[in-house]
Each structure stands twice: as structure tokens, then as C-alpha cells.
Structure 1
Amino acid sequence: MEFQLGSSGIEGTRWSPPQAGFVKINFDGTVFGNSNSSSVGAVIQYHNGVVMASCAEKLNQAYKAEEIEVLATLKALQFAFDLGFQNAILEGDSLGLIKALKVEDHNLSPLGLLVEDVKLATNNFVSLLYYHIKRNGNSVAHNLAKHATRIPDFQVWMEDVPSHVVSFLHSDVVHLP
């Protein structure tokens, strides 16, 4: 397993394509305290920006921000694995989580145990790189997570994203050659 911690895109603010032979998995989690719920979103893209799949899930509990980011990571990895991807770049906007995934120490706190679950899920991949990206570079995954409030539980889009997320997708790939 190959691990790399870095910043993606132009100073970490813009989506950048994965290297050949890899897919990029962007993920995000959102907490809606007013409705006592949380949600996760993920999108898997090829190097040319083409969406292979995206998903959103509504969770009927308001998790802490750090917890929902870890749960979003787990959902994204399981989603990619279920679709058969083995070489991936995992990219999210939680720098603390990306750093925690790289550390080999075991943390037995509740959050640390969730991170350990993510580390176990990474064993399903041949090669997995971790990147941090700032929120505005992670807009597709962020908007997928926000969209989850409109669905009953879990929804998948194959080779697509919900219509209101298309503009965020286009703004990410417009600069690609």
C-alpha cells in the first residue's frame, strides 16, 4: 500500500485530475444540527474529470464534525471498493483526518477507533494516496452531502451527479486540458 499526504490542485483550492491508472474519490460530510441529522457524499472521477459514480447518504443522527468526516471516508472507500476500483486517490477537506490516516499510531478514543476502521478499509486497495483539498476544491462532494437531506437514506448515480451539482462539476473540470 502506498500512502502520500499532500495538497491537491492549485494551492489545494481546485480539483486536479488523478494520475493515469487511478481514480479520484472526493468525499465530504455535513451535520445539520437543526434537524438532528448528518449526511455524506462522495464522487469518483477519472483523470479527465468524467464521473464514474457518485453517492449521497442521509444519517438520522447529528454527529460531531470530525466523526461525520470519518464516516464519509468510510462510505467513500466502501463505495469505490464495491465498484471494483483498486488504485485511488482519496481526497477530502478535513486536514486533521487526512493526517490521522497517515499516522501509524493507534488511537483508542472513539474517534480514533473510527479512523482505525478507515485504515482497515484501505487494505482493500492496491494503491491508495491521501490528499487534502480546501473546501472550495471539494465542492462536488460537499454539495452531494448537502443534497442528502432531500433523499430518504442512500442514493447512487452511475456516471452522473444530481442535476444541481453539475455546475460544480463543470467548474472543476473547465481548466483541464
Structure 2
Amino acid sequence: MATLSQQIPLPALVEMVEVIAARRALVFAKELGFDKVVMEGDSEPIINAILGDHMDYAYMGHVMQDIKFMFPSFSIISVKHIHREGNCVAHKLARRAIRSHFLVWMESIPPNVLDVYQLDLLRLQ
């Protein structure tokens, strides 16, 4: 339905990038008026923290709190851990953000991810 690729200035820890990306994905879904959301991430500790499992990451607690405050904005929200191999499209879009600061596609597939998108679809069948 929509794709966003955006550079995130690299903070000290990769975990912070994961949390900021998760927050941005929810903001994007909210901006587009989506009511049902599935959020997937390949960092199991971060996904567990978003789901409410205890994690002592005080330096990113404010971003985690923003994520949890957005949950009621959606009628259905699912948060799942997925191995990187399970979502090659997200990985390729993250790599694209290194070259391009901010790109959005609506109702289309970015040309450079079409191959991995098709592979993801085949894995679902």
C-alpha cells in the first residue's frame, strides 16, 4: 500500500535505530490513515520491549513510550519478531536509505526492491 525509506542519523547504538524506525513506521501508518497495522522487526529484544517485556534501555524509553502511546490510534495492531531473511524488502529499503535521504512510494513497489518483494510473496504461498 505504501513504502517509506528514510535515513536515520546513526545514534550510538543500533538498537536505537531499530526503535526510531519502528516509531517512524507507526507515524507513517497513522499519517496515511491506516486502521489495521502489522509491525515486524528483526530485533527480538526491541520487539519484546515494544510488546511490554521488561528491558532496561532508559536512553530510548521516551521513544518506546511514543510507540506505545500510538497503539490506541489503530483498531488492530500486531507487533511481531521476524528474522531478517523473512523480510528482505525491509532490509533492502534500509540499505537504500543510505543513499537517499527520504523516499515514499504510494501503491507501487520501488523498482530496486521488486526482486525481493516477489521472493517474499513466494515464501508466503
Q: Structure 2 length normalisation: TM-score? A: 0.89
- Aligned identity (percent) is 35
* Partner amino acid, structure 1, of 2:4: C
How many pairs were matched up?
A: 124
2: distance between equivalents of 1:132 and 1:93?
6
Higher relative contact order (CA 8 A, sep 6+): 2
2:86 maps to 1:148: no
4+ runs deviating over 4 angstroms = 104-108
Counterparts in 2 of 1:114-133, with a 5 A limit?
114-133=63-82
Structure 2 unmatched ranges of 5 or more: none
Residues 118 and 107 of structure 1, relative CA distance in 2, 3 Å threshold: farther
Could you say what secondary structure the match of 1:62 adopts?
coil
Structure 1 unmatched ranges of 5 or more: 1-51
What residue in structure 2 maps to residue 158 of structure 1?
Answer: 106
Could you say what secondary structure the match of 1:174 adopts?
helix
Aligned residue among 99, 109, 121 for 2:58:
109
1: distance between equivalents of 2:44 and 2:53?
16
What residue in structure 2 maps to residue 96 of structure 1?
Answer: 45
String of CA shifts for 1:99-143, please: whole Å, max 9, x gaps.
Answer: 111217696712222211111122211111111100111210111
1: distance between equivalents of 2:55 and 2:83?
26
Query: Residue 174 of structure 1: CA displacement?
Result: 1.8
Q: More strand per residue: 1 or 2? A: 1
Counterparts in 2 of 1:23-62, with a 5 A limit?
52-59=1-8, 61-62=9-10
2: distance between equivalents of 1:68 and 1:105?
19
1: distance between equivalents of 2:74 and 2:61?
21
What residue in structure 1 maps to residue 85 of structure 2?
Answer: 136
What residue in structure 2 maps to residue 67 of structure 1?
Answer: 16
2:122 maps to 1:174: yes
Is contact 1:106–1:116 with CA below 8 Å preserved after alignment?
Answer: no
Could you say what secondary structure the match of 1:78 adopts?
helix
Q: Structure 1 length normalisation: TM-score? A: 0.64
